[in-house]
Amino acid sequence: MLAVALAALVAATAAACTSPSAPAPTSPSPTAAAVTPGSTQSIDLDGRPYRLVVPSVYDGSTPLPLVVALHGYGSDAAELDSYLGLSSAAEARGFLLALPEGTRDGHGLRFWNAVPGGCCDLGRSGVDDSAYLSQLISQVSSSYAVSGVAVVGHSNGGYMANRLACDHPDQVGAIASLAGPLPYDTSLCTPARPVSVLYIHGDADQVVPYDGSAAGRSASAVDTVRRWAELDGCAPTPAQQPPLDLESRIAGAETTVLDYAGCHRGSDVLLWTIRGGGHVPTLTDTFTADVLNFLLAQA
């Protein structure tokens, strides 16, 4: 059952939640190349292991997309994997999947240092997660044929997905963030080239407010996508697309879709607003497929 990890983080508007447990990873392997097709293994990178899923379809010569999935504060890779069903999707759809772990804070809760002075290095460790995740992408890309890289994250993991795209657009082609916006000062994001962005947020989120929070150093959902649309050279006014059904507890197609068209280099920027949705949506069966459709097309 999903639960908020730490009450103090709600005040900071930067929390994430846990989901049903998944099986524990295997013992770390020395290199990413040790993972055979159709299996999952834990890989060590500078003392910080991550799980790598290599689908059966991988033949060593045909490049596949790499999806990096980032858990929220207080959660972990296995819980995010269970929540979104990513490992089974990787096998079914034929993409590489990396599931890294954040650093444990003084309370034993995992976090990503995504926003300077904000979410979620509460103990001020100064850990450079942007550099670590860049190294992870480089390690997997040097061991496997990778056609492109996409990042998906929830809450603190969504903040980190944005940070990674801002810092390393040469490596990341697309991101999808659920309830994890840009920093309140969106000008801090200055990528050198376009990155496709799918931003998803419930407008009834009481942990990371949809309308943003100066105290929590969180931009609003609208300001997040506006900044990315500006950076990607998209049309200034988004087009409204048909609604989606993403939250199973809300009747009908509750999610509005805004699409910024005409972006540079074929990039795209979308805002999916879950009307009445909270911080941890009860996802419909199509949620992950819809997100992956965007990521795999844009990566």
List, in sequence order, every residue forming a beta bridge with 193; answer none if it has no partner.
Answer: none
pLDDT digits (tens, 9 = 90+) for 59-92: 999 999 999 999 999 999 999 999 999 999 999 9
Position 31 pLDDT exceeds 50: yes
What CATH number does the domain containing 285 carry?
3.40.50.1820
Rg (CA), the chain: 18
Q: What does the pLDDT look like over 91-105, one tens digit per residue? A: 999 999 999 999 999
Query: Does some domain include residue 214?
Result: yes
Residue 2 belongs to some domain of the structure: no
State pLDDT tens for residues 141-200: 999 999 999 999 999 999 999 999 999 999 999 999 999 999 999 999 999 999 999 999
Write down the mean pLDDT value for the chain.
91
Look at residue 269 and tell me if it is in a domain.
yes
Say whether pLDDT at 19 is over 50: no
Domain contains 251: yes
Mean of pLDDT values over 200-220: 96
Q: What is the SS3 string spanning 143-157?
A: HCCEEEEEEEEECHH
Say if CB 164 and CB 150 are below 8 A apart. no
Has residue 182 been placed in a domain? yes
φ and ψ at residue 179, rounded to 5 degrees: 60, 35
pLDDT reading at 18 higher than 60: no
Give the domain range for residue 59: 7-298
For residue 226, which of 187, 254, 193 has the smallest C-alpha distance?
187
Is residue 1 a part of any domain in this protein? no
Is 289 inside a domain boundary?
A: yes
Which residue has 């990503």 as its token pair?
112
- How confident is residue 263, by pLDDT bands cut at 50, 70 and 90? very high
Q: Taking the complete model, does pTM exceed 0.75, yes or no?
A: yes
Mean pLDDT for the stretch of residues 109-117: 95
Separation between Cα atoms, residue 93 and residue 296, nearest integer Å: 10
210 in a structural domain:
yes
Query: Is 51's pLDDT higher than 80?
Result: yes
Residue 27 has pLDDT above 50, yes or no: no
pLDDT at 66: 98
What percent of the chain shows pLDDT beyond 90? 86
pLDDT value at residue 192: 96
CA dihedral 246, 150, 13, 212 (to 10 degrees): -80
Q: How many domains does the chain have?
A: 1
